[in-house]
Structure 1
Amino acid sequence: MADWNNDIRVVISIDFGTTYSGFAYSNKLNPEHITNDTWPDRIGQLKTNSVLQYSDSKFTQVSEWGCPALAQKPSRRNQKKNGPKPVELFKLHLGNMPDSEKPPIPKGLDYKRAITDYLREMGKLIKETVEMRWPNLDFMSQVLIVMTVPAEYSEQAYAIMRDCAHKAGLIRTKESEKLQFSTEPEAAAIYCMTVLKEHFLTDVGTNFLIVDCGGGTVDLTTRELLADQRLGEVTERTGDFCGGTYVDKEFIKFLKRKVGDSAIKLLEEQNYGQLQYMIQEFCMKVKLPFTGVKKDYKLFELDLEEVCPVLKQYTTGAAKAKLEKDEWIIDLDFETVKSFFDPVIGKIIRLVSNQLNNGNDCSAMFLVGGFSESKYLQRRIKDEFGMQVKNISVPKQPQAAIVRGGLEYGLNMKTIKTRVLKWTYGIELSPQWKPGDPPERRISHNRIDIFSKLVSRGTVVDVDQEFGKDLYPSIEDQTAASMKIYKTPETDGKYPNEPGMEKLGELILDFPESYLGYNRKLRFTLTFGQMEIRAYCTNQNGKSVDAMFNLEL
């Protein structure tokens, strides 16, 4: 481990999530793991909402963050419109979904600014919390921050997160090594590894599946227990948008059928806090207790006058007449609530089935993430896969699995030993064009640019494993060489500019002793580190160049 790590006294793990965020911390000398449960206006919860409320329409100052920024208990006397609408789901702008599907950001506010502002507010609470516990702590010098991120993040997303963390005051410089990243599936796996002993699964070679059921996404990864409490990755990560908030979306669709689309639209635009309060009431009193067993279910009466009185103003026509007759009470019976869950759980079951059908025997399956606490989801998973996987369980505090796994990673960054590559990596070469090659690809000096593969997607690589290639001059008197590095989602490729190819970067190095002509070589290597790829090239005189890229898994 690098020398900078010797200064670290405290490790802090931040799980900055799409819908909920949290943090945990530990002192390296006395590694008691503490997950924060004290938030603005909330005590006892392990996460708070990833939401901001600004004081004005110019977004000059954050007035609320977390839960208070989102949900407002309605008052029958005060039915005024809200101030500026809360800003949420801004993390999704870092992902690889099409721009058309990304949630809107208010005009005048950049998503990077929203991320920075949220991290700044959380950072204030983090500093206050750890410095209260360790008053002599030098935060910038003696704290290592591990931030958990989605596995599909690009190099650009990592760079943006670093920049936002720096501007938020969490690290001294943007390049600081005291900010490290761990992917969310890896963090979940590390957390689950700590509970394997509870299930008497300690044999090297044991495979286990982690199903991380978050608010927005569900991610799956199969891991192998290796010697010395290290982990290997067995299969490529899979996932989809089928987290717990999609049950809430089904509930809103149901409400639209009861009060009308226009009423819900007006509620979203003018009284968003009341809408969110109603959703939270649904979650606490209906969604969380729902077991999927009919005899356990008691009919729930949703009293709109109590949880969302302003809807009475927005509902018109036949819908209003019907609700007035029913005294503004909507019955949520068993089959209705079950219909909210079934499309979402159906997707999760298909994801699990695909992972298990990859041919690797699984000794255990761990459900983590906030949605994994759903008794109905647990029962459906056990009913579907109980014969295939004997040990299916939900670890303690599953909603904190990622943040606690990130903490474990920060305390021992050698936990991850192997990874399965999601990309094929290679470099551009320019050999002689020959008959049979595409004529339109012929370039100067009778050459052709091709993609030369170094390592294929699906390859299991050790941390710090190298993949190398000897390179020779394309031109006899060549005095410098350019190494262009590419990745592709395909298992191989032919040309650097074909569909799917993405340029990672470029290294330029002197090619000395031109009088030797073609009898010269460079040594080029890619090394897969903890969360970065290192590209390295050296010439026969010992001169070298290198570059770092984030490892997108």
Structure 2
Amino acid sequence: MGQCMCCTKCRRQPSQHEVIVHLDEVCLSQPISNPAIPIALEDQGPSERLLVAAIDIGTTFSGYAFSFLHEYLSDPMRISTNNWPHENGMSMKAPTSILLGPDGNLKAFGYEAIRKFGDLAENNQHQDHYFFDKFKMNLYQSNLSTDFILSDINGKTMVAVDVFAKTILYFKQHLEQRVRECLDSSLELSTDDVQWVVTVPAIWDDKAKFFMRKAAEKAGIEGRNLTLAIEPEAASLYCQHLPTYKPAVHHYAEKFDVFRPKNKYMVVDLGGGTVDITVHRVLENGALEEVYQPTGGPWGGSTVDDEFRALLVSIFGLEVFEEFKNQFTADVVDLLQAFELKKRFFEPDKDTPLSLKLPMSLVDHYKHRSGQDFQGLLKTKFNGEIMLIQDKLRVFPKTFHRLFNKSISCIVRHIQSLLEKEQVSGVSVLLLVGGYAESRVVRDSFETHFPNLQIIHPPESAASILKGAVLFGHDPHAIVARVCKYTYGIAMMAPFKEGLSDPRKKRIINGELICDDVFDVHLSVGERVSLYDIRTGKEYSLHRGQSHSLLEVYASSVPHPEYVTDNSCTRLGSLVLEVPPDTHENDKIVVCLYYSGTELGVSAFNLKTKQKTKTYFDFLG
């Protein structure tokens, strides 16, 4: 028995693009005898577009890359990126920092945004501007909605989807200008000549992925031209095209090919905010399949930043440091940017203390507020492990190394627990990618804790996701199967069964005993799902007079949830089905939930007309 659309049932107001039809306040379909109807899934991959353009918005750094079809066919690794200038040289990515004017329009991004914001702050003209920094981690939450708000560095707020849309639009326009410079002046690409790819972490839930899609569409990227790429998967595809490596631990001359058929390996994407982990098996044709659902946690490089901030608080005190952040905002940004470079290139085996330029505004503010000698404070609290020499904070390696402990211990424990899973048995290689993987501390820790595994850190690991996203845009069939991270299903009513059904769910509808809030499972957590094989749908009855049918979609962390109200369940949103005008009472429609590339997809088939029915998700409604 399937659930149809009714506001009494779903207990909420429809969004502006939904239509709710009252059916005598009953949200009920008739039972059917054979709910299993095969549905052939269409090929979800893009056609051969002339250009693939990828945007990677990271917690700490962001960038873009692109390649033309003819370049990909002749040399897949011929991928163009942008070099962003800064005071220490050039980098393939820019800081994820965006400066908006008082009117909300974009003023600058990346290094330029940090510089301009600093200039505004020096002249006390920054208060009416918006400066957002490292804002991606805000999407790592369960209560995401289209009206979710972000706070900037001064506490001013803006709708989050607008901040992400402006960031994507900035990269889109910058990339399009670069492409125009590459093209013959007589040539022009149309909208449908370009396949856009936007990267997302593997551990993001479906709401966060849908949020990023909405932001990209708001930035002017049409949905049919947009693919979301899972970050560690993109990195894995990139590494497939690199030369084979010598193992990082065992120094012998033979080369090791991680991508030989039947080999199983773990991709550990060490980003600024999250650590995303996927486990792949290489098939005979070179394609990849997931063997365990994506996993990970918020243990990336920003965890080290948090520990550094905690160190500053321990030095200056919380009150002084908070006042400093509010009064000298630009100095805080500069200090954390300087720390980012030290963190990435810190060499733990050297005895030389690290020098970090400390804003004298912070030292002066401490002296003014406390009346104490700063040098004496450091000597008392840190026993010479931290010193101030002129305007440089000198931190001894042992103290600096401790800033990584929390992050690394979380990562190591999680990987150790994964390696004990039956599905992960046989993994002999850890492939370290992402910007945080450039840290010597991180790489050394992996070699120490996993001495029996091959630890591979490819060159340009920070760019592996960005360039891999371009490869994925050209060849979305490179990943042929996924493992469900959650159990997905639809809320429905079913006949009440004495002794089996929960008495609290008992309802009487038109004289019938009904069990409410039943979880009708379509996909189960841990289930291997082919992206291109035929899947089985489930029938739901329609009612005459409906123009749309609304079904509530839920996710659960357990394989066999009974009710959508169980603690393991989360409402993802609505599935909206367009109903043909000539529908008769109890006509059937077949609904199939499946993986559409990297996202949860839906297909609906009208048994009467033998035609597909227009469907879409509203995950943020």
Q: TM-score range by the shorter chain?
A: 0.7 to 0.9
Is it true that 1:421 corresponds to 2:484 in the alignment? yes
* Secondary structure in 2 matching 1:315: helix
Alpha-carbon distance between aligned partners in 1 of 2:522 and 2:216, rounded to the nearest angstrom: 34
Shifted more, 18-27 versus 129-138: the winner is: 129-138
Q: Which amino acid aligns with 2:475?
A: N
Is it true that 1:460 corresponds to 2:528 in the alignment? yes
Shifted more, 401-410 versus 452-461: the winner is: 452-461
2:136 maps to which of 91, 94, 102: 91
CA contact (8 A) 1:155 1:549 kept: no
CA contact (8 A) 1:149 1:182 kept: yes
* Secondary structure in 2 matching 1:8: coil
Structure 1 segment 215-226 matched on structure 2, within 5 A: 215-226=272-283
* Secondary structure in 1 matching 2:202: coil
Shifted more, 216-225 versus 315-324: the winner is: 315-324
Q: Which amino acid aligns with 1:448?
A: C
Alpha-carbon distance between aligned partners in 1 of 2:179 and 2:304, rounded to the nearest angstrom: 36
**Percent sequence identity over aligned pairs:** 23
Unaligned runs of 5+ in 2: 1-41, 246-255, 378-387
Give per-residue Cα distances to partners, 1:392-414, cap 9 Å, x unaligned. 11111000111111111001111
Is it true that 1:61 corresponds to 2:93 in the alignment? no
In structure 2, relative to structure 1, the CA distance for the partners of 1:507 and 1:196 (3 Å cut) is farther
Unaligned runs of 5+ in 1: none
2:96 maps to which of 44, 50, 59: 50
In structure 2, relative to structure 1, the CA distance for the partners of 1:182 and 1:473 (3 Å cut) is closer
Q: Which amino acid aligns with 1:132?
A: E
Is it true that 1:267 corresponds to 2:310 in the alignment? no
Query: What is aligned with 1:109?
Result: 158
Alpha-carbon distance between aligned partners in 1 of 2:240 and 2:484, rounded to the nearest angstrom: 21
With the length of structure 2 as denominator, give the TM-score of the two structures: 0.76
Question: By how many angstroms is 1:354 displaced?
Answer: 1.8
1:528 maps to which of 590, 595, 600: 595
Alpha-carbon distance between aligned partners in 2 of 1:164 and 1:407, rounded to the nearest angstrom: 20
Give per-residue Cα distances to partners, 1:153-196, cap 9 Å, x unaligned. 45544444334334434x2x4x3x11111122321222233347
Query: What is aligned with 1:140?
Result: 191
2:239 maps to which of 192, 200, 203: 192
* Secondary structure in 2 matching 1:21: strand
Query: What is aligned with 2:384?
Result: none
Is it true that 1:18 corresponds to 2:59 in the alignment? yes
Query: Pairwise CA RMSD of aligned residues?
Result: 3.6
2:352 maps to which of 279, 287, 298: 298
Question: By how many angstroms is 1:282 displaced?
Answer: 3.1
Query: What is aligned with 1:250?
Result: 307
In structure 2, relative to structure 1, the CA distance for the partners of 1:240 and 1:551 (3 Å cut) is same
1:354 maps to which of 417, 422, 425: 417
Give per-residue Cα distances to partners, 1:20-54, cap 9 Å, x unaligned. 11111111111253342422657531110111123
Alpha-carbon distance between aligned partners in 1 of 2:491 and 2:575, rounded to the nearest angstrom: 11
In structure 2, relative to structure 1, the CA distance for the partners of 1:496 and 1:287 (3 Å cut) is closer
2:339 maps to which of 269, 276, 282: 282
Alpha-carbon distance between aligned partners in 2 of 1:206 and 1:123, rounded to the nearest angstrom: 37
Query: What is aligned with 2:374?
Result: 322
Structure 1 segment 158-169 matched on structure 2, within 5 A: 158-169=209-220
Question: By how many angstroms is 1:67 displaced?
Answer: 1.6
In structure 2, relative to structure 1, the CA distance for the partners of 1:38 and 1:451 (3 Å cut) is same
Alpha-carbon distance between aligned partners in 1 of 2:482 and 2:394, rounded to the nearest angstrom: 49
Query: What is aligned with 2:406?
Result: 343
Q: How many residues align?
A: 529
Question: By how many angstroms is 1:432 displaced?
Answer: 2.9
Alpha-carbon distance between aligned partners in 1 of 2:126 and 2:279, rounded to the nearest angstrom: 46
Higher RCO (C-alpha 8 Å, min separation 6):
2
Q: Which amino acid aligns with 2:477?
A: K
In structure 2, relative to structure 1, the CA distance for the partners of 1:98 and 1:260 (3 Å cut) is farther
Alpha-carbon distance between aligned partners in 2 of 1:90 and 1:21, rounded to the nearest angstrom: 12
